[in-house]
A = this chain, B = another copy of it.
Amino acid sequence: MSREPSKTANIREIARRAGVSIASVSRALNDKPGISEALRERILTISRDVEYRPSAAARQLISGKAAVVGISLGRRDFELRPYYILLYQHLTVALHRQGMVPIFFPHDRTASLPEQAGAAILLGEFADDPRPELMTSHGVPFVRIGPAGESFSVAPEDRHGIYLATRHLVEGGRRRIAFVGDDLQSPHSQHRLGGYRQALDEAGLEASLIDIPPNLDPALTGYRWLSRRLAHEPRAYDGLVCETDELARGCLTALEDLGLEVPGEVAVTGFDDLPTLAGSLTTVRQDIAGIAAMSVELLGEALAGKPPRHVSMPVELVVRQTS
């Protein structure tokens, strides 16, 4: 009763169609030297036609552990955050598509990653993160999700995204715009803060920072902080640029409970555009699936010994009902 599994073409099928040996196909597919450019092109075209997907199993069998990719989360308190969850999920799919096998390493077990995996993706980077050094010293190729540095890395355009959101509020006539952040000291927040400051500077407005202590439950913490602040001075802000959708949710709920109208009296923006969570929020969308796919692509380059590079992934302002 089970549906016929879509028979995916293998290397032999491509070789047959191209009229060459499987060795040549393998070389073309893996960007290996020792094959003419013309043949490579022809083989790549055919492999696209037949929607070739490499077999994770076969590759892994040969390379030993090389196809096993360890995914490492940075700190305990990051591990349960929705953004990382989604990234992790997309990474799983993207790796599988490339014939690689994901295996998860919680923060406290990352030390054993080099023994079990042939490559790594590092999420949730933090200050003085020892993991890049760990990977390097064990000869494990890796990609970071984070700001440009010495190794391969991918990051969304944090600064630009927050700039867009802030400018959007400015253009909507807001004048008392605060930035609500999780942990303003982190390098990550610093980037986003930069975008906020730039937009305010351009408009000649004053900056106002709300620094929520890093927390397991940003929505609740944001809610409490804003509730207290506005209890004393309800008109303190007419715009809130939040660093994450979660913080924005907490702020929205606080405004609702205080009877302040959104977006009439206060406009709110988020960041991430998380499914379900973002809802009717005006926010900055990151392409999480795209970031995952790019990480895997870069990991391929790292495994091939190519020189490290950083890729900045585009973001987009999504205007909804809170601004």
Contact = CB atoms under 8 A, between A and B. Distances in A.
Interface of A: 1-3, 5-6, 55-61, 64-65, 67-68, 76-77, 79-80, 82, 85-86, 89, 92-93, 96, 101-104, 106, 114-115, 137-140, 216-217, 219-220, 223-224, 246, 249-250, 253, 257, 274-277
A249 B80 CA distance: 15
Given A101-B96, A102-B102, A220 B57 contact: no
Contacts of A104: 89, 92-93
Q: Which 7 A-B pairs have the closest CB atoms?
A: A2-B139, A57-B60, A57-B61, A80-B82, A92-B104, A220-B220, A89-B104
A5 B103 contact: no
A220 to B, nearest CB: 5
Given A276-B80, A276-B216, A56 B64 contact: no
Task: Determine which residue in A57, A68, A257, A276 has the highest number of CB atoms from chain B within 10 A of its CB, and name it.
Answer: A57
Given A1-B137, A224-B257, 13 more contacts: A1-B138, A2-B140, A3-B114, A5-B64, A5-B65, A5-B115, A57-B59, A58-B61, A79-B85, A79-B89, A80-B85, A93-B103, A217-B249
Contacts of A102: 92, 102
Contacts of A1: 137-139
Nearest to A90: B104
A133 to B, nearest CB: 12
Contact of A277 (B60, B139, B216): B216
A277 B57 contact: no
B77 A276 contact: yes
Query: How many copies of this chain are found per oligomer?
Result: 2
A62 to B, nearest CB: 8
A296 to B, nearest CB: 14
A25 to B, nearest CB: 18
Given A57-B57, A257-B224, A138 B3 contact: yes
28 contacts: A1-B137, A1-B138, A1-B139, A2-B138, A3-B138, A5-B64, A57-B58, A57-B59, A68-B96, A77-B276, A79-B275, A80-B85, A80-B274, A80-B276, A85-B85, A89-B106, A92-B92, A92-B102, A93-B104, A101-B101, A216-B276, A216-B277, A217-B217, A217-B219, A217-B249, A217-B250, A220-B249, A220-B250
Contact of A115 (B6, B79, B86, B115): B6
A6 B224 CA distance: 51
A309 to B, nearest CB: 23
A219 to B, nearest CB: 5
A101 B104 CA distance: 12
Nearest to A58: B61
Contacts of A65: 5
A113 to B, nearest CB: 11
A57 B78 CA distance: 31
A74 to B, nearest CB: 13
Contacts of A58: 57, 61
A289 to B, nearest CB: 11
